[in-house]
Structure 1
Amino acid sequence: MSLALSVLDLAPIAPGQSAGESIAASVQLAQAAEEHGYRRVWYAEHHNMPHIASSAPAVLIAHIGAQTKSIRLGAGGVMLPNHSPLAIAEQFGTLEAMYPGRIDLGLGRAPGSDEATTYALRRDPAQSAQFPEDVAELRAYLAGQSRVPGVAATPGSGLNVPLYVLGSSTFGAHLAARLGLPYAFASHFAPQQLRAAVVSYRNEFRPSEQLAEPYVIAGVNVVAADTTEAARESFAQVQRRFATGLFGRGRTFTEAEVDILMQTAAGQHVQQMQHYSAVGTPGEVRSYLEEFQREAGADELIVAHQALSTPARLRSVQLLAEAFEGAGV
């Protein structure tokens, strides 16, 4: 697969599924991604979301690393305001010591939760303002050049785990450019500022020891299936579940109520969030992603395979890889 494709896995908990079954499905997904030539699999930190089991990315990576052989694994990302830079340096230094040359560390500025959950995490909401300083402190720990006298990350010091700045606005683009780090844009759920952010990042980029030239990863949703109808039906189910989780406040909806919800502004909002979505047969998905890569100005695409069932996600992983192998790109 010569087009750089990776996987973003939120460890979704399907209807009737336990968290343990979701995590087992994530192992299968990573193994399938490795088998089919994807570059990396990332896990995103989310809290207080009953349908997502990726609240502890470092733990998930440790588990999946033991059951894969070569594919890169990382956080996409750790929400740094929720943690001390030293703790993250130690966690990902430990992972790098366990799986040398396979670990990525993507860093986000958002808390990954609501206000009540931020309180439960014992974090100060204002901590997001310290994000640039926290990234610099974390980077120094991993380089073995601690900014805190007498404090070193063990494991972690000198291991230089590669850092990535994540964002859904131009803030992260400016920071990644200034620090000379790769930039990953969350266009799979926040499409509005993709173009502006990428342009800013490329124009302002300053080379660093980690990276000589700008490098952009763009997120995109994918549902590849054997027929267009099957892919569209699968994606519709995902959107319905996403809408009820986002706006339902813990309520249980009937199918008729979900139908009504999807016709409201809430349903339209979900569709706008998932604007960048490749849904269809392998050929249809390949054409969409080729155009999206050009439009986004991305060096790599990170794909969220959107389907409720594990077999459907695994099939999407396989079909997408086969589509690009067949295209010779």
Structure 2
Amino acid sequence: MTASIFGTRFGNAPVSLSILDFAMAGKGYTAREALAGSIELARLADRRGFTRYWVAEHHAMPGVTTSSPPLLLARLVGETERIRLGAGGMMLPNFPPLVIAEQFGLLASLAPGRIDLGIGRAPGADMTTANALRRGQINAEDFPNQVMELIRFLDDDFPDSHAFKKSVYAVPGPRQDRKNGVPRSFERPPVWLLGSSGYSAQLAAHLGWPFAFAAHLADENVELALALYRQNFKPSTVLDRPYAIVSFGVLAADDEHEARRQAWAYSHSMMRMSQRKSFVVPTPEEAEAYPYSSAERDIIEMWNAKIMSGTGEQVVEQLNAWQQRLEADELMVLNLGHSPDAIYRSTELIADAYGMPDFGA
């Protein structure tokens, strides 16, 4: 793997820091406002020295606006200069591998050396929506084969006996350069496997690929997954040693009480989702006034325990404690506030407390 993919540490920071974004539209905010907030957040992350800015894929969730990571990333290419941009991730069973190879080949051609492709096997939606996306044509159980087909399109290396060898290939991609009489110049984006259990950890280890674990969803599984990844890792032409990112839900505010209120509002939305209601983050005031049953409060407290909230210094202290425990190669933060302003301010405070530079100062 090229050195550029690895994170850059600043000051006394133990590891580099990155951003995961959902373009969340809290109650009272439009998709347009949420996306404008994400553009501003990407600019901030670029200016403050975050290593990468990844966009997640979700569908049929009114509180999450990232239904098409490649479209948002194409906009962010022109809004940033240094930061790596990527999908965290594309849900591979939702798409034919050729589609993803072409989308990310195009992005890699627009921003050479700055694009990451993270792939996962979850639908990013409920199963009814997943069926609408897939139309029964793609089987999630065939994920390893889909992964290998994606890589063969990105590298243009189907075996001679394969039906796609002669005339099916990704554009942009290496065969386009070759057919146009250009020395091979296409630089495919590095592919990351994502997961919240041991399945993708073991597949990433087998392939010798980098791995990203979603601790914001399942922090109870993170230690086992990283152990499986490291113990079973096989060096490859992609990577000579394990490299793992761990993502955490966070919310920092100038006032500790406000941070707790914002985090509680997000946990409220997760409680609603568990009740098969729409995922929308309410205002902190609405969440505070809600008449919780004891069962609902238990659900919220379970999700709330997964979020690192407080002042910037308090959040970074919690991140560092997890880092000492996990020895991750990189940390990624998902800011979980109600408003774009709260998410932006959280990122600023964490960057300050983490000792990150300001390239725009």
Alignment of 1:109-258 (within 5 A): 109-124=121-136, 127-146=139-158, 148-150=164-166, 151-157=168-174, 158-247=186-275, 249-250=277-278, 255=286
Q: Which amino acid aligns with 1:107?
A: I
Alignment of 1:1-329 (within 5 A): 1=10, 2=13, 3-124=15-136, 127-146=139-158, 148-150=164-166, 151-157=168-174, 158-247=186-275, 249-250=277-278, 255=286, 259-261=290-292, 263-273=293-303, 275-325=305-355
Whole-Å separation in 1 of the counterparts to 2:271 and 2:327: 29
C-alpha displacement of 1:264: 4.0
C-alpha displacement of 1:285: 1.2
Task: Point out the more displaced range, 264-273 or 91-100.
Answer: 264-273
How has the CA–CA distance of structure 1 residues 133 and 325 changed in structure 2, closer, same or farther, with 3 Å as cutoff? same
Whole-Å separation in 2 of the counterparts to 1:171 and 1:126: 19
C-alpha displacement of 1:227: 2.0
CA contact (8 A) 1:118 1:124 kept: no
Whole-Å separation in 2 of the counterparts to 1:154 and 1:305: 35
How has the CA–CA distance of structure 1 residues 176 and 322 changed in structure 2, closer, same or farther, with 3 Å as cutoff? same
Select the structure of larger CA radius of gyration.
2
- Secondary structure, aligned partner of 1:166: strand
How has the CA–CA distance of structure 1 residues 266 and 192 changed in structure 2, closer, same or farther, with 3 Å as cutoff? farther
CA contact (8 A) 2:247 2:334 kept: yes
Whole-Å separation in 2 of the counterparts to 1:192 and 1:315: 28
Task: Point out the more displaced range, 314-323 or 266-275.
Answer: 266-275
Match in the other structure for 2:180: none
CA contact (8 A) 2:197 2:221 kept: yes
How has the CA–CA distance of structure 1 residues 265 and 136 changed in structure 2, closer, same or farther, with 3 Å as cutoff? farther
Task: Point out the more displaced range, 102-111 or 118-127.
Answer: 118-127
Q: How many residue pairs were aligned?
A: 326
Using the aligned pairs only, state the percent identity: 40
C-alpha displacement of 1:258: 7.0
CA contact (8 A) 2:193 2:209 kept: yes
Aligned-residue CA RMSD in angstroms? 2.3
Unaligned runs of 5+ in 1: none
CA contact (8 A) 2:251 2:335 kept: yes
Whole-Å separation in 2 of the counterparts to 1:92 and 1:285: 33
How has the CA–CA distance of structure 1 residues 251 and 231 changed in structure 2, closer, same or farther, with 3 Å as cutoff? closer
C-alpha displacement of 1:116: 1.2
How has the CA–CA distance of structure 1 residues 91 and 326 changed in structure 2, closer, same or farther, with 3 Å as cutoff? closer
Whole-Å separation in 2 of the counterparts to 1:251 and 1:315: 23
CA contact (8 A) 2:264 2:300 kept: no
Match in the other structure for 2:183: none
Q: Which amino acid aligns with 1:169?
A: S
Instruction: Please give the TM-score of this superposition, normalised by the length of structure 2.
Output: 0.84
Q: Which runs of structure 1 show a deviation greater than 4 angstroms over 4 or more consecutive aligned residues?
A: 250-258
Whole-Å separation in 2 of the counterparts to 1:243 and 1:25: 25
Deviations 1:40-92 (A, max 9, x none): 11111111101110010000100111111121110000000000111100000
Q: Which amino acid aligns with 1:298?
A: A
C-alpha displacement of 1:280: 0.9
How has the CA–CA distance of structure 1 residues 125 and 118 changed in structure 2, closer, same or farther, with 3 Å as cutoff? farther
CA contact (8 A) 2:61 2:278 kept: no
C-alpha displacement of 1:269: 3.2
Match in the other structure for 2:6: none
- Secondary structure, aligned partner of 1:193: helix
How has the CA–CA distance of structure 1 residues 79 and 271 changed in structure 2, closer, same or farther, with 3 Å as cutoff? farther
Instruction: Please give the TM-score of this superposition, normalised by the length of structure 1.
Output: 0.92
CA contact (8 A) 1:81 1:127 kept: yes
